[in-house]
Amino acid sequence: MLGCSVLVRICIVDTTFARVDMARRAIAVLKQLMPDAQIFRRTVPGLKDVPVEVLRMFEEYECDAGMVFGWVGPTLTDKITYAAYSIAMQLVQLKLGKHVIDVTVHEDEAGDEESLLSIAIDRAEKHAYNLYLLLRNPEELSRLAGTGRRQGYPDVGSLE
Amino acid sequence: MLGCSVLVRICIVDTTFARVDMARRAIAVLKQLMPDAQIFRRTVPGLKDVPVEVLRMFEEYECDAGMVFGWVGPTLTDKITYAAYSIAMQLVQLKLGKHVIDVTVHEDEAGDEESLLSIAIDRAEKHAYNLYLLLRNPEELSRLAGTGRRQGYPDVGSLE
Amino acid sequence: MLGCSVLVRICIVDTTFARVDMARRAIAVLKQLMPDAQIFRRTVPGLKDVPVEVLRMFEEYECDAGMVFGWVGPTLTDKITYAAYSIAMQLVQLKLGKHVIDVTVHEDEAGDEESLLSIAIDRAEKHAYNLYLLLRNPEELSRLAGTGRRQGYPDVGSLE
Amino acid sequence: MLGCSVLVRICIVDTTFARVDMARRAIAVLKQLMPDAQIFRRTVPGLKDVPVEVLRMFEEYECDAGMVFGWVGPTLTDKITYAAYSIAMQLVQLKLGKHVIDVTVHEDEAGDEESLLSIAIDRAEKHAYNLYLLLRNPEELSRLAGTGRRQGYPDVGSLE
Amino acid sequence: MLGCSVLVRICIVDTTFARVDMARRAIAVLKQLMPDAQIFRRTVPGLKDVPVEVLRMFEEYECDAGMVFGWVGPTLTDKITYAAYSIAMQLVQLKLGKHVIDVTVHEDEAGDEESLLSIAIDRAEKHAYNLYLLLRNPEELSRLAGTGRRQGYPDVGSLE
């Protein structure tokens, strides 16, 4: 957790490959919850270009946390690319020691475009709220431990 | 193994994605077995946020060991995310030179919610006991080598 | 993003395994868009030899960015090789802090050779344009965020 | 290869998850072949705990080589865990610059428990012999290059 | 590329698991093409032991390049082992900044032993020639860019 810094700097990276402008929704939520936040946004062609861009932005703007927005096709090759990307995003976070919340939509999550759009928007907005909690209200996350929260779908709740 | 330090500091990270509060059960076991242990707990949104949080907590609180609690959905994408997470948790342990016991429940382990709940609780409690053994009683682990211990299920025993 | 450096140095690595000279097409696009660019090109036998060659070239020629061109067979072994290659290309980018755009064609993308050829050429040329945008016109990438751009295929557009 | 050091120090890590005490068999072979060897053994709960324990033991006891003993279930999740473990064991070896021979038994290797037991014992003993060859008799390994040696099963021999 | 050093030092690592002595064929080709080359060869039990041995040899003999020879079984476990090995060989190359050409034969490449033998020999010899090109004649590799060269099989040629 990042504690209550007086001025928080957030890096955002998304792609031209994605079919929904998720970053715009997330930024709207972040600005509403943290009007003082400084937000830096860049767009790269696709998933493979995201991790190094995050690294470059953190170094250039000395960010405290980040969000990335990816879009993954349905083929085995797409899944392998997602695997390599996911490992790289872990390495970036471990190298920086900072949270970078990963918002990824997979085309095989839904059969129709309308559902994909609504998954993408819901996931982006809820994860923006999650980043706010990590930065400013970690106690709320602790309160929700093990309660089956979902992003992109309705919460499924606790089994207890 | 960590030897018999007079004061042990343990870091715990779990998620709001999980459907069972496994950390609470594990902490209860740890406190019973090691009343002197100092336990630090934080909750993050999901699996992808766990490794960097562990790293941050170890650096902030100078912990001796840790436990993490994950919950994994049944799709191929969920499995890939688990793979990247597992590699990252290995990297975190190798970087820290400390044990961080991974308690993960996979939704495809059981067909009904009651079984999942009981797997989760059993796994959390038994792995808390395992962490105690690593920290305070490694001889007992040596005695149990190759005896088919399971967490989440009954022990299967030795083939010999 | 690399900003508007007065002289940009680009490293290109491709293979003798590939069945299309994609690098030639990409270089033509790069030279048209950035006549001042210095381009360094080398060819290695296959995908496994690409990452270390990129590293060697960046160190030898102090490049600002790069492009790599791979060709992947249809078997499970080919896919695993692609996975290891993809992870290595992420590591190379994170080590260098530079963008290296990955142009890979997979033989299972199309059933006939004519389609594969046209995918390869389209992907190489569009990604060369993407590298130009990253280096000289990042605002255009921002404008295209979430608009469903594709390389190798026609753009699919936004879902909104 | 490690050459003919006068005193060789070997680290052994196994698990309580395994259903056969493979380390005991391997140690018996190592002691017979290298009566002067110093052997350090520890047991951890499962596969995920092995790599960091190896690292800790090498640093604590300044070992020259090691052996690890794992047991892998039959599910996809077990296989993914094995993948992350395998990558971590590679990282450990590359970090230490030392050989750590990996003896892993997979439950899907045999349909009945008797066969699994015999695979486990054969693999442990033959790999202990392999470690002896690496440490004291690398010429014998060179003589056997490409001859289809197997551990857990009978040798299959050369195709030539 | 390694340029035209007056004396080239090449490290070779193969296994006793393989069923064909591929290294012998590759060394014969290397010696014919580069009579001045110094070749250092070692054999380890299996694939998992190769990467660290390469690292050890490069450090001991200050090699300029290397070749490794692996043999992979047909099961999912074998494929996972190959994946971890492939990632490790990428890490070794990136750490050393040197080319290490990977010659791997997969048992599911052919149904009969005769074909496997001929794949293995062809692949070993052609990759030895590739290493010669990397070291002494990179212009020839550039000339062959995108022309569908294969090792183990006949060349498939360009699609253009």
Burial (CB < 10 A; 0-12, 13-18, 19+), residue C160, is middle
Q: Does the pLDDT at position A120 exceed 50?
A: yes
User: Beta strands of chain C (E only): which ranges?
Assistant: 9-15, 38-44, 65-72, 100-106
| Residues D147, D126: Cα–Cα separation, whole Å | 15
CA atoms within 13 A on the CB side of E147: 12
Long-range (24+ apart) CB contacts under 8 A made by E74-79 are E74/E106, E74/E107, E74/E108, E76/D79, E77/D72, E77/D79, E77/D82, E77/D106, E77/D108, E77/D109, E78/E107, E79/C76, E79/C77, E79/C80
Which residue from E1, E93, E144 is facing C42, i.e. has the nearest CB?
E1
pLDDT at A3: 46
pLDDT tens-digit series, residues B81-102:
999 999 999 999 999 999 999 9
The per-residue pLDDT for range E132-149, each reduced to its tens digit, is 999 999 999 999 999 999
User: Would you state the pLDDT for residue E6?
Assistant: 65
Percentage with pLDDT > 90 across chain D: 95
Q: State yes or no: pLDDT of A5 exceeds 70.
A: no
Task: Write down the pLDDT at residue C6.
Answer: 65
Tell me the three state secondary structure of residue D85: helix
ipTM: 0.95
Q: Do D147 and E95 touch (CB under 8 A)?
A: no
Chain A: give the shortest CA distance to residue B98, in Å.
16
Q: Do B87 and A87 touch (CB under 8 A)?
A: yes
More confident residue, E84 or E5: E84
Give the residue from A77, A107, A121 with the most C CB atoms within 10 Å of its CB, the best one to mutate.
Answer: A77
Amino acid E135: pLDDT: 98
How far apart are the C-alpha atoms of D152 and D122, rounded to whole Å?
5
- Residue E147 in tokens: 């022309």
Mean of the pLDDT values across residues B37-43? 98
Per residue in D10-54, pLDDT (tens digit) is: 999 999 999 999 999 999 999 999 999 999 999 999 999 999 999
- pLDDT for D66 equals 98
Q: How far is E68 from chain C (nearest CA, A)?
A: 12
Looking at residues E52-61, what average pLDDT do you find? 98
CB contact set of D86 (below 8 Å; sequence gap of 6+): D102, E48, E80, E81, E83, E84
Interface of A with B (CB under 8 A): 1, 72, 79, 82-83, 86-87, 89-91, 93-94, 96-99, 101-102, 106, 108-109, 127, 130, 133-134, 138, 141-142, 144-151, 156-160
Is the model's pLDDT at C83 over the cut of 50? yes
Question: From CA E54, how far away is CA E151, in angstroms rounded?
Answer: 22
pLDDT in tens, B53-92: 999 999 999 999 999 999 999 999 999 999 999 999 999 9
Instruction: Give the distance from CA C86 to its chain's centroid.
Output: 12
* Helix pair B76-96, B50-61: axis angle to 10 deg: 20
Residues of C in contact with E133 (CB under 8 A): 45
Label residue E1 by pLDDT band (50, 70, 90): very low
pLDDT of B54 reads 98
- The beta strands (E) that lie in A22-87 are given as 38-44, 65-72
Pick from C77, C150, C126, C134: nearest CA to C100: C134
Q: How many CA atoms lie within 13 A of C102 on its CB side?
A: 29
Do the Cβ atoms of E86 and C91 come within 8 Å?
Answer: no
Please determine, for residue C4, whether its predicted confidence score (pLDDT) is greater than 80.
no
Residue range C106-122, pLDDT digits in tens: 999 998 999 999 999 99
Q: Cβ contact (<8 Å) for B83 and D85?
A: no
For residue D67 the two structure tokens come to 């052996």
pLDDT, one tens digit per residue, over A13-43 is 999 999 999 999 999 999 999 999 999 999 9
Which two structure tokens, joined as six digits, stand for D2?
A: 């490690």
Write down the mean pLDDT value for chain B: 96
Mutate to test the interface with C, among A11, A13, A14, A17 (most CBs of C within 10 A): A17
Mean pLDDT across C33-37: 97
Sorting pLDDT into bands at 50, 70 and 90, what band is C150?
A: very high
- Tens of pLDDT, residue by residue over A103-117, are 999 999 998 999 999
Chains that touch B (3 or more CB pairs under 8 A): A, D
Could you tell me the pTM of the whole model? 0.96
Across the interface, of B43, B49, B55, the residue whose CB is closest to A144 is B43
Amino acid at A18: A
Neighbours of B160 (CB within 10 A): 14
The residue of chain A nearest to residue B95, with distances taken between CA atoms, is: A94
Interface list for chain C against chain E, based on CB atoms closer than 8 Å = 14-24, 41-46, 48-49, 51-53, 55-56, 59, 69, 76-77, 80-81, 83-85, 87-88, 91-92, 95, 113, 116-117, 120
Residue A1 has pLDDT above 50, yes or no: no
Taking an 8 Å cut-off on Cβ atoms, the answer to whether A113 and C159 are in contact is yes
| Integer Cα distance of C56 and C39 in angstroms | 15
| % of chain E with per-residue pLDDT over 90 | 95
CB half-sphere exposure, B150, CA atoms < 13 A = 12
DSSP state of B144: T
pLDDT, tens digit (0-9, with 9 covering 90-100), for D78-112: 999 999 999 999 999 999 999 999 999 999 999 89
The chain C residue lying nearest A114, using CA atoms, is C159
Provide the pLDDT confidence category of residue A6 given band limits of 50, 70 and 90. Answer: low
DSSP bridge pairs for C103: C69
User: Can you give the pLDDT at residue B6?
Assistant: 65
Mean pLDDT for the stretch of residues E94-122: 97
**Residues of chain C with pLDDT > 70: what percent?**
96
Q: Which of A43, A60, A61 to mutate to test the interface with C (most CBs of C within 10 A)?
A: A43
Backbone angles phi, psi at E110, to 5 degrees: -150, 150
Residues of C in contact with A12 (CB under 8 A): none
Statement: residue C82 has pLDDT above 70: yes
